[in-house]
Structure 1
Amino acid sequence: MSYDNLVTVLAVAAGVPFLLAMVPRVPLPGPVLEIVAGVVLGPAVLNLVQPDATVQALSIIGLSFLLFLAGLEIDFQQLHGPRARLVGMGLAGTVALAGAVGWGLDFAGLVESPLLIGTALVATSLGLLVPILKDADAVDRPVGQLIIGGASAGEISAVVLLSLFFSEHSSGPASRLLLLLGLACLVTLIVVASMRAGRSMWLSQAVVHLADTSAQIRVRLTMVLIVGLSAVALHLGFEAILGAFIAGAVLRLVDPDAEQTHPQFHVKLAGLGYGFLVPVFFVTSGIQFDLGALFADAGTVLRIPMFLAALLLVRGLPALAYRSAGLSRGEIMASGLLQATSLPVIVAATTIGLRLDAIRPANAAALVAAGLMSVIVFPLAALPLLNHSQRSARRGREEEPH
């Protein structure tokens, strides 16, 4: 076990926030710069750091923790109620468009697995959107709630599809579907047991007493949940990321008011994830990025705008379903742009696809590059639309007769 390469990876992770702080007017997401830094320092350019066994192991754990944090961001209140129908219509449109785009690219001989490409296009980077919506003061507005609901549905669908159809550990889709139903039953039992345990006065008092001591009992129980469900997912023939994602969703479901009742708990989880494990995943993804395959020929480079347009079509066009919610034209356009913002699941899908020979390195590199472009370009274009619609709504309220 060597720490040499890991030191460099962690140094990059620590240096990126300082670089971003030096140019505050450039709203570049941290994960983008972490991946770019990994590309520059890795074998593709300077060859100063290698993805050895230690780095790769922590990178895999970082990916799982990233998916756990994504599951923790899911707002189940947005997946039922009056807006659920609109979110469902948008998701149905996304899945239909993803299938059409995937098979169309396959028919044109541009991709190897239309199902993998379609699955990668379904997701939205929920963890990146929530801070953007908070900064725009849009989280509690109808447009923000619909975007979060649509992003949550897309994230769930992409992770489930990825685990259902692309795994190194199981057989046909039919058996995986049965195993997925078994996993769903197990998760239901865990949710019910956790809720009943939460009603125990003694257990609740013990958790409160131990939460902020050296025991850090909430964090320890969370790690048991993440690793336990990841292990179960692996034994059932799925990718570990499915178990980690479900762990986040379970925790959000059984403890929906954690940010109000014990706010330090989520801060601790975010510190462990975004302070250590998740940056290792993004930097390592850059180190392993096949820059040579991306620039091997002009045709491969041209696939970047092709995949970027596919993201906008698959995730952006279904935002038209939100018109019946009374959103303005600007809010609908902003919803489409933000829902088309995707990176983590694309990186996960291409990583798994490369292991299974379901995607060529050139297409994997182009798809990841399109994801990088989406998290830079689409939020920059969406924020002015959100701010303009909010100012217009405020002026309309002020001009109303009293």
Structure 2
Amino acid sequence: MVPALARTRSRGTAMDVEELLSLLVVGSVAVAAPVLSRLTGRIAPVPLVVFEILLGMAVGPSLLGWASPNHAIELLSEFGLAFLFFMAGNEIDFGAIRGRPLRRAAIGWSGSLVLGVGVGLLLAPRLDVAVIVGIALTTTALGTIMPVLRDAGLLARPFGRSAVAVGAVGEFGPLLAISLFLSGRRPAEALAVVVVFAAVTGAAIFLAGRGGHTRLHRLVADTLHTSGQFAVRIAILVIVALVTLSVVMGLDMLLGAFAAGVLSRLVLREAGDADRHLVESKLEAVAFGFLVPIFFITTGLTFDLAALTGSTSTLLLVPVFLAALLLARGIPSALAAPPGATARQHAALGLFGATALPLVVAITDIGVAEGILETATASALVGAGMLSVLVFPLVALGLLRTGSGRTEQGGRT
């Protein structure tokens, strides 16, 4: 058999060459982004995702035109988005955040949804537009704030657990809202489908959490350093299975990806610490070394810069949406701070909670595809999400550092 790449080369079609060149440019951007992030980190720590999106915009059709979205890139981008939410579900320790942190985060998200839809109605007096804008304003980029919290040594502290609870609800809540309100079904029918999906995945999570997977863990351990790589293969199978289930049921695929991450964590919970950490590092390598960067770079490639800058009114929507994120998501998130938290910690938690991007991209894509949201409005929302990722975590860390002496003495950070 002749390899596909060889057949492509023998045919020499212009479209095939262009697709490969675009993929080469995307790969080059994925390599350049962490280098630039490391270099600029000495001056001010800028999240890696910002470089990936900005570089994607730079090489995309909006500016240099070196790369353009094609079927291969878009397919890898979809897998990257699924892996991003798989890793979010896989990183959450529900045992650590259950109780008060999770309860307060859930109450805060409910308030965010009400405020978000209210802001949407003020900006566009159409209920369908207001719902999409409102759901977008309730999101939290858990995949962005988790590394920031980990690097700052905050994950094991009460503040970090509250921030993770806010982020977990800020990802799972919007996914449910998408499935209920943006599925095209009647509310009662959509709710029934969500309940069935929850029952199926809940049963799988319950069985995984019961323990006793000795043979499975032995197979994982025996193939960690071989070409078998059973743990990585079964994780990918779980992702594909639950994503397929969610799509077949007419739900958003990210709901399945998130549930797959939770399930995977429970299955590997009883494995040895060394084996579990090694499996997690392998999954991180697949996700953040390959697929997730392609999603964010593709976000830059498809970003409609002309629609955003085409009118002053559209451009002014960016700071308006940024302020709306602080209002609708930041204030309710701040209320989920742990007992005894200082004013700076409340403000920092609000900023972490208002940090949003991946789901903003996904939600606005749905709105544009359904013909509900204008491209310019979607670009303004994504632009605000990009600014939130760039600004809010840096300001939050600055607030925590400024009050670090007092908080560490009180043991409240």
Normalising by structure 1, what TM-score?
A: 0.91
Cα gap change, 1:126 to 1:258, in 2 (>3 Å): farther
Aligned residues of 1:106 and 1:112 also touching (Cα < 8 A): no
Match of 1:239 among 252, 256, 259: 252
Q: Label 1:351 to 1:202 Cα distance change in 2 as closer, same or farther (>3 A).
A: same
Contact in 2 for aligned 1:72/1:252 (Cα 8 Å): yes
Q: Distance in 2 between matches of 1:47 and 1:34?
A: 16
1:29 and 2:47 aligned: yes
Distance 1:152 1:257 in 2: 23
2:176 to 148, 156, 160: 160
Distance 1:147 1:166 in 2: 27
Distance 1:218 1:5 in 2: 32
For residues 234 and 14 of structure 1, the distance between their equivalents in structure 2, rounded to whole angstroms, comes to 32
Deviation by residue 1:176-214 (Cα, 9 ceiling, x = unmatched) = 211111111111222234345x51543432332223321
1:12 aligns with 2:26: no
Conservation of the 8 A alpha-carbon contact between 1:89 and 1:321? no
CA deviation profile, 1:343-392 (whole Å, cap 9, x unmatched): 11111111222111121110111001000100111112111211233211
CA RMSD of superposed structures (Å): 2.1
Give the equivalent residue in structure 1 for 2:137. 121
User: 403, 408, 412: which one pairs with 1:389?
Assistant: 403
Specify which of 210, 213, 229 is matched with residue 223 of structure 2: 210
Query: Structure 1 residue aligned with 2:146, among 127, 130, 134?
Result: 130
**CA offset digits 1:208-232 (Å, max 9, x no partner):** 2223321110111111100011111
- Correspondence for 2:202 among 173, 181, 188: 188
Aligned to 2:108: 90
Q: Percent identity?
A: 36
Structure 2 residue ranges without an equivalent (≥5):
1-15
- Say whether the 8 Å CA contact 1:78–1:148 is kept in structure 2: no
Asked if 1 retains the 8 angstrom alpha-carbon contact of 2:36 and 2:51, the reply is no
The alignment status of 1:172 with 2:186, answered yes or no, reads: yes
Structure 2 match to 1:148 = 164
Match of 2:185, SS?
coil
SS at match of 2:403: helix
Q: Is this contact kept in 2: 1:258–1:266, CA < 8 A?
A: no
Classify the secondary structure of the residue corresponding to 1:144: helix
Instruction: Indicate the SS of the match to 2:373.
Output: coil
What amino acid maps onto 1:8 in structure 2?
V
Per the alignment, do residues 114 and 141 of structure 1 end up closer, same or farther by CA in structure 2, a change over 3 Å counting?
same
Instruction: Between 211-220 and 288-297, report the one with greater CA deviation.
Output: 211-220
Q: How does 1:3-402 map to 2 (within 5 A)?
A: 3-24=20-41, 25-107=43-125, 113-167=129-183, 171-195=185-209, 198-256=211-269, 260-261=273-274, 262-322=276-336, 325-395=339-409
Specify the code of the residue in structure 1 equivalent to 2:90: L
Could you say which residue in structure 2 is the equivalent of 1:400?
Answer: none
Contact map agreement 1:75 1:152 (CA 8 A) in 2: no
Q: In 2 relative to 1, CA 159–200 (structure 1 residues): closer, same or farther, beyond 3 Å?
A: closer
In structure 2, the residue corresponding to 1:302 is in which secondary structure? helix
Q: Is the 8 A contact 1:259 1:266 kept in 2?
A: no
**Secondary structure, in 3 states, of the residue corresponding to 2:380?**
helix
For the residues of structure 2 that align with 1:259 and 1:41, how far apart are their CA atoms? 44
Amino acid at match of 1:211: L
What is the number of residues matched between the two proteins? 392
Structure 1 residues 52 and 183: alpha-carbon distance in aligned structure 2, compared to 1, 3 A threshold: same
Q: Is the 8 A contact 2:351 2:393 kept in 1?
A: yes
Cα–Cα, structure 1 residues 257 and 319, in superposed 2: closer, same or farther, change >3 Å?
farther
How far does residue 324 in structure 1 lie from its aligned partner after superposition? 6.9
List per-residue Cα deviations over 1:275-319 (Å, max 9, x = no partner). Answer: 111111111111111011001110000000000001001111113
Contact in 1 for aligned 2:162/2:337 (Cα 8 Å) = no
| C-alpha distance in 1 between matches for 2:160 and 2:272 | 19
Query: What SS does structure 2 have at the residue aligned with 1:359?
Result: coil
Paired residues of 1:346 and 1:367 also in contact (CA < 8 A):
yes
Does the C-alpha gap of structure 1 residues 223 and 143 become closer, same or farther in structure 2, counting only changes over 3 Å? same
Q: TM-score, normalised by structure 2?
A: 0.89
Change (3 A) 1:254 1:101: farther
**Offset at residue 78 of structure 1 (A):** 4.5
